[in-house]
């Protein structure tokens, strides 16, 4: 959410930043709503002062025996009290409308990110490894002989419908090993705090991280009002919801492995084959909470954490900084990490590492108290996949596929697979 005082102080800069996202100027509308709200508050305060003055004079009129003045003043007090109540209700309605509007406006893009219309205008900033030259035509993950026995879309469709998958045998074990490997690296090497969070949250938590009100159709809500999390960003970030912490508490660095749920409402026709885009999936998510002056460096650190997982798995990837036209609504700056998928002959996103600045913190009212004293300040929040487990599995099996239909597995996973190094063409770990 945006700070109304910042918009009051420099509406032109606010509009210019949003214009980079392709959004028409809105500051005049916001300021008009703000002025109406403030006018109602002032009118209520004035009416209350008049009521207080009349109330003091009621007793004096009664003491003088001036019944006419007594009745006039008593009626005036009642009239002013009713006026105050009405004006307060109107001010509250104006305040709610203003907050709703501010909540619906995307974050302002960081000055450092490139302008652009869509993903074609993203800028590559890093690359690791080179795509493997296969002596045969590589296929997508679901067509690899070693994988087909353990990746069942038909049974999943019978159970749940489209965009679900049933994993079994070697593939299920590989999926579990990947999640454990990612957690261990992030905890033991990157210093993150492992966290187990709920996957059902209250509605206000979805508002806190920006999934609501604008993107409700992308998530699932239960009949009793809970929401299924689309990512552990929701639960991990909201740990500081409503808190004012000491400066020494920061930074906080969390990691969680959870199931995630997305309706994929806006992705009709995209990635319908295989398990690249599912309604239910698993992800290892990183979240950091920092002081404002530390968030840029933390963003780079988190990007390095995600990249390290791919490097240990020996997977070629590239990192891009998103342009203004491809930037998520709640984020100020995002690095997308894209892994090479030989079956598709292209790089595909496997992690987005983003800094929200104080955008989420304002929605959550999350602050910290400076050590030297002074007014509490809003924290900065960051999040990033470290990584999407299913997409990592896809990348491993596609890059490791062999001419005989088997799949060679990365050495980093051997301790998690009891020394097994491959899945043979019959779908068995060997």
Cα separations in angstroms, 386 against 182, 244, 257, 333? 7, 28, 9, 17
d(CA 111, CA 100): 26
DSSP 276: S
285 in a labelled binding site: yes
| Residue 162 is labelled as binding a ligand | no
Q: Which of 277, 318, 348, 422 is catalytic?
A: 277
Q: Is 262 annotated as a binding residue?
A: yes
Neighbours of 3 (CB within 10 A): 14
Q: Is 422 annotated as a binding residue?
A: no
Region for 352 from its dihedrals, namely left if φ exceeds 0, alpha if ψ lies in -120 to 50, beta otherwise: beta
Confirm whether 267 is a catalytic residue. Answer: no
Instruction: Report whether 349 belongs to an annotated binding site.
Output: yes
Catalytic residue among 69, 194, 314, 349: 349
Q: How far apart are CA 155 and CA 225, in angstroms?
A: 30
**Backbone dihedral angles phi then psi of residue 329, each to the nearest 5 degrees:** -60, -40
Query: Of the candidates 340, 255, 347, 349, which has an alpha carbon nearest to the alpha carbon of residue 305?
Result: 255
- Annotated catalytic, 391? yes
Q: Which of 219, 295, 352, 354 is catalytic?
A: 352
351 is in an annotated binding site: yes
Whole-number Å distance between alpha carbons of 282 and 195: 15
Q: Do residues 352 and 334 lie in contact, with contact meaning Cβ atoms separated by under 8 Å? A: yes
288, 382 contact by CB (below 8 A): yes
Does the annotation count 349 as an active-site position?
yes
DSSP notation for 376-388: -EE-EEEEEEEEE
- Has 203 been labeled as part of a binding site? no
188 known member of a binding site: no
Separation of alpha carbons 351 and 390, rounded Å? 12
Catalytic residue, from 367, 391, 398, 406: name it.
Answer: 391
Q: Which of 163, 262, 332, 362 is catalytic?
A: 262
Separation between Cα atoms, residue 3 and residue 207, nearest integer Å: 16
Q: Was 27 annotated as part of a binding site?
A: no
Has 367 been annotated as catalytic?
A: no
Is 350 assigned to a binding site?
yes
Q: What Å distances lie between residue 267 and 144, 152, 181, 259, CA to CA?
A: 25, 22, 30, 20
Known catalytic membership, residue 422: no
Instruction: Determine if residue 217 is labeled as part of a ligand binding site.
Output: no
Nearest residue to 393 (alpha-carbon basis) of 85, 177, 139: 177
Residues of each annotated binding site for ATP: 262-264, 349-352
Residues of each annotated binding site for L-serine: 231-233, 262, 285, 383, 385
Residues of each annotated binding site: 231-233, 262-264, 285, 349-352, 383, 385
Active site residues: 262, 277, 349, 352, 391
């Amino acid at each position: 959410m945006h700070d109304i005082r910042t918009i009051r102080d420099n509406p032109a800069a606010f509009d210019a930043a949003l214009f980079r996202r392709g959004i028409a100027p809105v500051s005049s509308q916001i300021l008009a709503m703000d002025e109406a709200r403030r006018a109602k508050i002032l009118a209520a305060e004035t009416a209350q002062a008049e009521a207080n003055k009349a109330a003091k004079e009621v007793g004096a009129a009664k003491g003088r025996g001036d019944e006419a003045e007594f009745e006039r003043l008593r009626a005036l007090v009642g009239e002013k009290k009713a006026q105050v109540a009405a004006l307060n209700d109107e001010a509250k309605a104006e305040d709610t409308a203003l907050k709703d509007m501010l909540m619906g406006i995307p974050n302002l893009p960081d000055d450092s990110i490139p302008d652009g219309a869509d993903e074609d205008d993203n800028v590559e900033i890093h690359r690791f490894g080179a795509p493997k030259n296969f002596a045969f035509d590589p296929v997508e993950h679901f067509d690899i002989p070693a994988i087909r026995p353990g990746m069942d879309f038909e049974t999943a469709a019978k159970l749940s419908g489209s965009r679900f998958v049933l994993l079994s045998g070697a593939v299920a074990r590989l999926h579990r090993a990947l999640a454990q490997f990612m957690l261990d690296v992030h905890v033991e090497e990157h210093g993150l705090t492992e966290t187990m969070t709920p996957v059902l949250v209250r509605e206000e938590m979805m508002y806190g991280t920006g999934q609501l009100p604008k993107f409700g159709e992308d998530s699932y809500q239960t009949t009793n009002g809970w929401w299924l999390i689309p990512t552990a960003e929701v639960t991990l970030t909201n740990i500081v919801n409503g808190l004012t912490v000491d400066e020494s508490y920061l930074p906080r660095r969390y990691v969680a492995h959870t199931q995630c749920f997305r309706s994929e409402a806006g992705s009709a026709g995209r990635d319908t084959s295989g398990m690249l885009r599912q309604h239910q999936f698993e992800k290892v998510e990183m979240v950091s909470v920092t002081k404002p002056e530390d968030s840029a460096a933390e963003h780079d650190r988190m990007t390095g954490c995600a990249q390290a997982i791919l490097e240990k798995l020996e997977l070629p990837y590239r990192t891009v900084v998103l342009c203004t036209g491809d930037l998520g609504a709640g984020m100020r700056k995002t690095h997308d990490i894209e892994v090479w998928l030989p079956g598709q002959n292209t790089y595909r996103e496997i992690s987005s590492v983003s800094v929200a600045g104080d955008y989420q913190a304002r929605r959550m009212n999350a602050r910290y108290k400076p050590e030297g004293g002074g007014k509490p300040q809003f924290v900065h929040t960051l999040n990033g996949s470290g990584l999407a487990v299913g997409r990592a599995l896809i990348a491993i099996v596609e890059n490791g596929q062999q001419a005989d239909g088997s799949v060679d597995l990365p050495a980093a996973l051997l301790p998690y697979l009891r020394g097994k190094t491959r899945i043979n063409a019959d779908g068995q770990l060997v």
